[in-house]
């Protein structure tokens, strides 16, 4: 019922071409759901919060209004309407936590007609070769290293996106349907499903955007298959035996604005600010309450002759405690560069998602435009 009410309000707002009604509808929907959000645990499907594409990561993940390519399938599906080729493909690889976590992404987008586009995106985040020491010590207390096996913990996401320009000049909307698959060796696995929705509105040199991730909540159904031996070891070591359960990812609303200026003919500069709003109890963010938290992200991109680009951004502000010192605020700075040669774009970003000294992530991504003959 709440989702139907939201869709009705937004539809009426678009028909009347009144942006204030959209804001009222969204605000009312969030306020109505706040009591429900407060009853659900935080942090679910966090592998989907890392981000895709070195261009966006170089800008500090402030990208929902800037995005205009195949990566729109992740950041804001409405941006797919800005693709200027009939077909576009992209791929990315990164490693996090000193190479422990491997993160891979691939996507393809295509124009349907002059007003609509679609895309398919795939994400894999995994830790491989995890030692399984359950059988390291036998019932007689003997240690046998040959009994150590290994397993992988892997998260998959498949996103199918659609976007369309509306009758209002400069306004585009889009939506994602996503399927989640998560596995922990042979011990447990989950299937999940969710929806995202987004919009972009371009006015002069400004682009305004809103992105609603997991707009209906995303549900992961977990099932576990544990042998008696595993249960015994868990009990003896004081670990909780996992039970079949439903994991819920609550909605997240992101508001963004971008402005681009062309300077001295060949130079351009663009900047973006995003405000990430969550409603799943208090988070360690810059602004927070018992039910609502807000985290700002900002980034910019300087380009020369649409050939080479320099990027930087900052976000993920958190307050941390250090021994013998007062609490202090830390943030995640990102940097990046990019080169575009005809139909090819090569991008690199340096990121520190752990906010730790020495644990930087090197992100590489490729993008290619393919113009089909009519």
**Residues linked to residue 368 through DSSP beta bridges, in sequence order:** 89, 344
Stretch among 118-127, 243-252, 356-365 having the lowest mean pLDDT: 356-365
Contact between residue 317 and residue 330 where contact means Cβ atoms under 8 Å apart: yes
In 222-308, which ranges are continuous DSSP H helix? 228-236
**Residues linked to residue 200 through DSSP beta bridges, in sequence order:** 172, 209
Q: What is the per-residue pLDDT for 329? A: 83
Question: Which H helix or E strand runs over 213?
Answer: strand 206-213
Residues 112-161 have pLDDT tens digits of: 999 999 999 999 999 999 998 888 887 777 888 888 889 999 999 999 99
**DSSP letters for 299-348:** EEEEEETTTEEEEEEEEEEEEE--TTS--EEEEEEEEEEEEEETTEEEEE
Stretch among 102-116, 211-225, 321-335 having the lowest mean pLDDT: 321-335
Mean pLDDT, residues 75-101 taken together: 93
Residues whose CB is less than 8 angstroms from the CB of residue 164 and which lie 6 or more positions away in sequence, other chains included: 81, 115, 116, 117, 172, 173, 174
Question: What whole-number distance in Å separates Cα of residue 254 and Cα of residue 21?
Answer: 18
Residues 208-220 have pLDDT tens digits of: 999 999 999 999 9
- pLDDT over 80 (residue 251): yes
Q: What predicted TM-score, i.e. pTM, was given to this entire model?
A: 0.84
Residues whose CB is less than 8 angstroms from the CB of residue 274 and which lie 6 or more positions away in sequence, other chains included: 61, 62, 63, 64, 65, 254, 255, 256, 296, 297, 298, 315
Q: Which two tokens stand for residue 75?
A: 């950041």
What is the number of helices (H) and of strands (E) in the chain? 5, 17
In the chain, which ranges are continuous DSSP H helix? 2-16, 19-37, 54-58, 72-75, 228-236
Q: Which two tokens stand for residue 115?
A: 């007003």
Q: What is the per-residue pLDDT for 264? A: 82
φ, ψ of residue 71 in degrees (nearest 5): -70, -5
Q: What's the CATH class of domain 38-370?
A: mainly beta
Question: What whole-number distance in Å separates Cα of residue 90 and Cα of residue 110?
Answer: 12
Contact between residue 112 and residue 124 where contact means Cβ atoms under 8 Å apart: no
Pairing relationship of beta strands 293-304 and 287-288 according to DSSP bridges: antiparallel
Q: What is the per-residue pLDDT for 29? A: 42
Residues 254-278 have pLDDT tens digits of: 999 999 999 888 899 999 999 999 9
């Amino acid at each position: 019922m709440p989702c139907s009410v939201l869709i009705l309000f937004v539809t009426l707002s678009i028909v009347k071409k009144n942006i204030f009604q959209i804001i009222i509808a969204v605000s009312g929907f969030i306020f109505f759901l706040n009591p429900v959000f407060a009853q659900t645990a935080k942090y679910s499907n966090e592998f989907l919060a890392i981000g895709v594409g070195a261009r966006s990561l170089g800008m500090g993940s402030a990208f929902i209004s800037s995005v205009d390519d195949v990566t729109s399938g992740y950041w804001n599906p409405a941006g797919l309407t800005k693709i200027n080729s009939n077909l576009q493909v992209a791929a990315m690889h990164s490693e996090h936590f000193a190479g422990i976590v491997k993160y891979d992404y691939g996507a393809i987008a295509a124009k349907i007609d002059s007003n609509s586009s679609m895309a398919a995106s795939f994400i894999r985040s995994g830790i491989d070769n995890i030692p399984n020491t359950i059988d390291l010590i036998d019932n007689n207390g003997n240690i046998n290293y040959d009994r150590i096996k290994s397993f992988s913990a892997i998260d998959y996401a498949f996103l199918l996106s659609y976007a369309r320009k509306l009758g209002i000049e400069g306004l585009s909307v889009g939506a994602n349907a996503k399927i989640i698959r998560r596995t922990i060796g042979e011990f447990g696995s989950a299937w999940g499903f969710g929806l995202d929705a987004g919009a972009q509105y371009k006015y002069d040199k400004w682009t305004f955007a809103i992105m609603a991730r997991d707009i209906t909540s995303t549900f992961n159904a977990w099932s576990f298959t544990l042998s008696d031996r595993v249960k015994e070891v868990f009990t003896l070591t004081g670990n909780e035996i996992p039970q079949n359960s439903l994991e819920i990812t609550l909605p997240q609303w992101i508001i963004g604005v971008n402005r681009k200026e062309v300077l001295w003919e060949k130079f351009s500069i663009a900047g973006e600010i995003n405000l990430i709003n969550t409603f799943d109890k208090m988070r360690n963010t810059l602004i927070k309450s018992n039910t609502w938290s807000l985290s700002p992200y900002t980034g910019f991109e300087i380009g020369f002759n649409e050939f080479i680009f320099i990027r930087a951004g900052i976000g993920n502000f958190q307050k941390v405690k250090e021994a013998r010192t007062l609490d202090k605020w830390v943030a995640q700075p990102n940097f990046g560069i990019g080169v575009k040669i005809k139909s090819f774009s090569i991008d690199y970003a340096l990121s520190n998602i752990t906010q730790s000294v020495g644990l930087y992530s090197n992100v590489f991504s490729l993008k290619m435009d393919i113009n089909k003959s009519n």
